[in-house]
Amino acid sequence: MFEYFYHEILRRTVISFGTLFNSISIQHKDSNGNVSSMINVPLAYGPTQKFLARLEQSPDLNKPIQVTLPRMSFEFVGLNYDASRKVTTTQTFITSNVDDKTEVKRVYMPVPYNMQFELGIYTKLNDDMLQIIEQILPYFQPSYNLTVDLVDQIGEKRDIPIIIENISMSDDYEGDFTTRRALIYTIRFTAKTYLFGPVSSSATRDIIKKVSIGYVSGDTTKNPTRDLTYSVEPRAIKNYTNIVTTNLASDIGLDTTNILVNDASNISENTYIIINNEEMYVDKKTNNNLVVKRGADGTTITSHVSGSAVKKITSTDNSLIEIGDDFGFSGTLWRWQKNMTN
């Protein structure tokens, strides 16, 4: 029923959450207020009960408690669907492959899920605990955004809000003076992540490749006096591949229509080029001189200096048109509309 895919999103989120707390340290001072020692607090993945049992069942009974504590641990403890962040289930977005920038990838909008984490903090001294807590809480107001690379195939990075839900405290000291003491703080977090489905190739894209419109006039459809069909195809109006074809050999002003480039061998007539953010239609070419129509598809006509990059709009760019993007049509329809207005 389902195809295999694995983006490691849950695993990446768990690892990213743990990195938030892997550089916490505490200081101990002498009676003069000078720092006598600094301890990096160890962090491990595992349940709180495991570390409490480790404190009670240490095989080395002569081991000083200061070597074991302070310590922190965290654990992924729950997962639930977040209906408040739901989007249309049939909506998709398209991007190019992050490796070669040419193959188009499509994926449905992600499904929002909340991941619950518990961070356990164990210390012997109350001052150690307060130092650790003060290094954590100021960053959550009440959330901290953590950027996670969720899907490598499409280069999808998202800010995952990490929210503090509650904080509980306990003191495990019971018994006589030989009993080990452990102050325990447990902080519960919620990470608002997203789960993506399988990534499809461009072969399954749902984008209109061609539109045909037919007109029939006359008294009856069986005996029309005029029967016309117009056909248009989507055309990219920007360069998606970011490949530079050549460069300007001289400055061009606002009224310039004859431009000189370093090498026009890879530019053909009746094609489109991009210089900075201005699109131009190449009407004629003689050697390295191009006769162009400026400001194509409503782009702003601006001046350009010598050395500016000249990029072609090719069939590869047409295949990379994004759903929802503003794209142009073939010149046939444009000329027909112009004639109709006249």
Q: How far apart are CA 63 and CA 247, in angstroms?
A: 72
Q: Give the pLDDT mean for 232-249.
A: 81
Q: What are phi and psi of 277, to 5 degrees?
A: -110, 10
Q: Alpha-carbon dihedral of residues 90, 96, 98, 103, nearest 10 degrees?
A: 110
Under the banding of pLDDT at 50, 70 and 90, the label for residue 285 is very high
pLDDT digit string (tens) for 112-167? 999 999 999 988 888 999 999 999 999 998 889 988 888 887 778 889 999 999 99
Are 310 and 250 within 8 A, CB to CB?
A: no
- Range ranked top by mean pLDDT from 19-23, 50-54, 170-174, 204-208: 19-23
pLDDT digit string (tens) for 46-85? 877 766 666 666 555 455 544 478 889 999 999 999 988 8
> Residue 87: pLDDT above 80?
no
Q: Give the pLDDT mean for 219-232.
A: 59
Are 92 and 55 within 8 A, CB to CB?
A: no
Chain centroid, CA 217 distance in Å: 51
154: amino acid identity, one letter: I
Tokens matching residue 120: 């356990």
Q: What are phi and psi of 304, to 5 degrees?
A: -135, 140
Task: Give residues with Cβ within 8 angstroms of 213, minimum separation 6.
Answer: 229, 230, 231
User: Is 307 buried (19+), middle (13-18) or exposed (0-12) by CB count in 10 A?
Assistant: exposed
**% of residues, the chain, pLDDT over 70:** 70
Q: What is the pTM of this model?
A: 0.54
Are 135 and 126 within 8 A, CB to CB?
A: no
Domains of the chain with bracketed CATH:
9-202 (3.30.2000.40), 237-320 (2.40.30)
> Residue 297: pLDDT above 60?
yes
> Residue 6: pLDDT above 50?
yes
Q: How far apart are CA 78 and CA 159, in angstroms?
A: 20
| Backbone angle region of 305, left / alpha / beta, with phi > 0 → left and psi within -120 to 50 → alpha | beta
